[in-house]
Structure 1
Amino acid sequence: MSAPSSPMARSAGGNPGDSAELRDIQLRLQAADSEVRRVALLELADFEGDEHVTLLVASLRDPVASIRAEAARALGAFEDEIGVPALIALLEDAEPEVREAAAASLHDLKEQASAQFILPHLSHPLAPVRAALLRALRGLRLPESAAPAIAALADDDAAVRREAVAVLGYLRRADALAPLAALAGGDPHMEVRRAAIGALGFATGSAVLPALLGGLSDPAWQVREEAAATLGKLRQGSALEHLTSSALQDAYWQVRLAAVRALGLLRTPAAAPALTAVLAHPISSLRKEAALALGEIATHMSLPALEHILDDPDPDVRKAARLAMAQIRGRDPAQAADAQG
């Protein structure tokens, strides 16, 4: 077990004085005055060891909600699975502050041994509990999380489905691609579709291309933005026409921005004409990203258009143009960034 590094951290077994202090804290944790218990709980941060964690777990049953929440937060700082069952039980606490603290600590633990306690509870009757447990599993990246996460894609609760998508995105498993693609195009909730589109970014082939192209016409601009960005990450050259004719013409500038960046990642000269047209867009962030994307493509046919925006009213656009021209000409981009223009 490891604990947060602190110059004041002490082991209960270090010397008799430390043991006496810990016994004193233990007594004060049972005091009738809640403020006395709160101060004693904060002092526990100076200790490390199994007995210290046991006292923190006991404080999870304190009658005062803020103390239960503080104990839950403290447990999240220690890589010890001993408190996991108690934290799971705390996910049903009547107070939102306590439930949120318990969920955050389960996520922060990153202790693989905690999976033995989490996995059996993934069918818990309360949706917020299922979502919190899946969130805790995400960072563990355990292969045994895949099957229950895939099953959770069909959960009635959108938050649970979204957390299941995140688990599968972290695991990067090929057998999850088909159910993720189906969710990306068919889930009724925008955030779930968006998460599923993003999770497809670990694919290595073109099997997910139909789902991503479908995402470009999703009713929600956030999903369309994610689809354009994911196509860029995958460097799917076959998506060029869809990015230029659909995403680059989107009514939302956020989608157009993602399309510009994606076209730069494709690094194909065929994207240069569409990006060159964006250099005249009234939104300066789009002009800047278009210049940078042309630098990534690095075709000399873009130089005249980039030279034309060296006197752009936005300094970031001018800087992006210099950087892009340096890339195209094979110069050091760092020198171009410092150059006057």
Structure 2
Amino acid sequence: MNNMKKISLFVTLFIAPALLLCAQTTAPKTSKPPLKKAAAKPAVKKAAPVPAAKPEPAAVSAPAADPLAESLEKIKSTDREERRKAADYIGQSRNPKGAPALMAALSDDAPRVRQSAADALGMLTWREASPKLSDMLINDGDAGVRQQAAISLSYIMDQAAGPALVKALKDTAPSVRYAALHTLAVMKYSAAEGEMIGLLSSGDSNMRRGAISALGQLQSKKAAGPLAAAMKDSDQYVRLEAVKALGSIGDTSSAGELIKLLAPGENAQLRVEAAYSLAKMDMNDGLPVAYEYAKSADLSVRSQALNVLALAGDARTLQFIEELYTAEQDPAGKGMLDFTRQRLMLRIKTLQKK
């Protein structure tokens, strides 16, 4: 009985597992079905190339507008404002091709068109316009046109216009008289010297000032006496202009009256201008005044004082300028002083060579 149990235990422990292992190792393997090759994709046919579109022919651009040509058309317009603007443009273009159209516009029935045409011809300095402008200065019924004719003649600078300008000094419109006087001065029309001296007694202070300035530009020796008298005019600006004119003329016969204006009681501008006019006459009587105003806060007074020092100064003046230059902090002020110093050094060298 015991033997049977041992045999049964032996079978259970050793024989059964062995049989099971043999059964596993001898079992047929299940083979996987062979993989089918993927069918080749049919080749994709390339699309036929689309022919490139032919470029559209470039649009022909309209030719650029010619502003002068347009203005030459517009100056014939029935619209007076359009004609005026056209005349203005032609003048601003400075193109002489527009001069004939402007000459025709001087006879336009609209005063503002005539005025613009006269202005434009002045800007073109169109000398052929001088006779017509001279006639307009005397005969045009519009004061604005007459004034513009006088102004335009100052650009053209035709001495033949002198008689018409002299006649215009008696125009009823002050603006025309002023413009005519200014043009005579710019042209240095010496034939008008007598008329200019006569204007020193005008009741219009602006005409007196204008006449004095014109006589100064003419450097009229004949006017020295009347100009010296004008330094006592009731209008301070007339007096100032007379002082300047006498300096330009350089007639020392007026020096005594100029020296009187250096007195402390006079205003700064008049004093320093008198000193400058004396310096132009090679007189250094105004140096003390120039030293006084060389530090002025008024730039115009200071500038003129430095001009006096440059024209009439000496070695002492140069030292004075050097001291001012060292102390000056403002770059613009230093520049003014340096310029004065250079001028004065040149003056001193010139005097030493004599």
Among 41, 44, 58, the alignment partner of 2:76 is 58
Instruction: Return the alpha-carbon distance in structure 1 between the equivalents of residues 342 and 72 of structure 2.
Output: 61
Among 226, 237, 240, the alignment partner of 2:252 is 237
Identity, % of aligned pairs?
20
Tell me the equivalent position of 2:108.
Answer: 89
Among 177, 180, 196, the alignment partner of 2:211 is 196
Shift in Å, 1:261: 3.8
Q: Where does 1:168-183 land on structure 2 (aligned, <5 Å)?
A: 168-183=184-199
Q: Where does 1:250-329 land on structure 2 (aligned, <5 Å)?
A: 252-279=267-294, 283=298, 285-303=300-318, 305-306=320-321, 309-310=324-325, 315=330, 320-329=336-345
Change (3 A) 1:81 1:263: farther
**Which structure 1 residue ranges, 5 or more long, are not aligned?**
1-16, 23-42, 334-341
Shift in Å, 1:147: 0.9
Number of residue equivalences: 284
Instruction: Return the alpha-carbon distance in structure 1 between the equivalents of residues 268 and 291 of structure 2.
Output: 16
Tell me the equivalent position of 2:67.
Answer: 45
- Give the superposed CA RMSD: 3.6
1:158-206 superposed Cα distances (whole Å, 9 cap, x missing partner):
11111111221133232211111211x1223333222222111233452
TM-score (structure 2 length as normaliser): 0.66
SS at match of 1:55: helix
Tell me the equivalent position of 2:202.
Answer: 187
Instruction: Return the alpha-carbon distance in structure 1 between the equivalents of residues 316 and 227 of structure 2.
Output: 30
* C-alpha contact (below 8 Å) 2:108/2:114 kept by paired residues: no
* C-alpha contact (below 8 Å) 1:228/1:247 kept by paired residues: no
Instruction: Return the alpha-carbon distance in structure 2 between the equivalents of residues 306 and 222 of structure 1.
Output: 30
Shift in Å, 1:327: 4.0
Among 129, 133, 143, the alignment partner of 2:159 is 143
* C-alpha contact (below 8 Å) 1:221/1:252 kept by paired residues: no
Residue 177 of structure 2 aligns with an amino acid whose one-letter code is R
Shift in Å, 1:237: 3.2
Change (3 A) 1:314 1:195: farther
Change (3 A) 1:148 1:284: closer
Instruction: Return the alpha-carbon distance in structure 2 between the equivalents of residues 112 and 326 of structure 1.
Output: 43
Change (3 A) 1:154 1:99: same
* C-alpha contact (below 8 Å) 2:219/2:249 kept by paired residues: yes
Shift in Å, 1:83: 1.6
Residue 89 of structure 1 aligns with an amino acid whose one-letter code is D
1:273-319 superposed Cα distances (whole Å, 9 cap, x missing partner):
44334446564643443133212223335346545645666745565
* C-alpha contact (below 8 Å) 1:194/1:226 kept by paired residues: yes
Tell me the equivalent position of 2:90.
Answer: 75
**Which structure 2 residue ranges, 5 or more long, are not aligned?**
1-59, 350-354
Looking at CA atoms only, which structure, 1 or 2, has the larger radius of gyration? 2
* C-alpha contact (below 8 Å) 1:292/1:321 kept by paired residues: no
Higher relative contact order, structure no. (Cα contacts within 8 Å, ≥ 6 residues apart): 1
Tell me the equivalent position of 1:39.
Answer: none
* C-alpha contact (below 8 Å) 1:139/1:170 kept by paired residues: no
Shift in Å, 1:90: 6.1
* C-alpha contact (below 8 Å) 2:159/2:187 kept by paired residues: yes
Instruction: Return the alpha-carbon distance in structure 1 between the equivalents of residues 348 and 313 of structure 2.
Output: 13
SS at match of 1:58: coil
Change (3 A) 1:157 1:331: closer
Instruction: Return the alpha-carbon distance in structure 2 between the equivalents of residues 73 and 247 of structure 1.
Output: 49
Instruction: Return the alpha-carbon distance in structure 2 between the equivalents of residues 330 and 84 of structure 1.
Output: 52
Change (3 A) 1:259 1:203: same
1:99-123 superposed Cα distances (whole Å, 9 cap, x missing partner):
7644532431310111232222222
Instruction: Return the alpha-carbon distance in structure 1 between the equivalents of residues 326 and 73 of structure 2.
Output: 66
TM-score (structure 1 length as normaliser): 0.68
Change (3 A) 1:281 1:136: closer
1:45-87 superposed Cα distances (whole Å, 9 cap, x missing partner):
254xxxx66424213x415x3x333212112133314322414
Change (3 A) 1:319 1:170: closer
Instruction: Return the alpha-carbon distance in structure 2 between the equivalents of residues 153 and 161 of structure 1.
Output: 5
Q: Which moved more, 1:146-155 or 1:290-299?
A: 290-299
SS at match of 1:110: coil
Tell me the equivalent position of 2:134.
Answer: 119
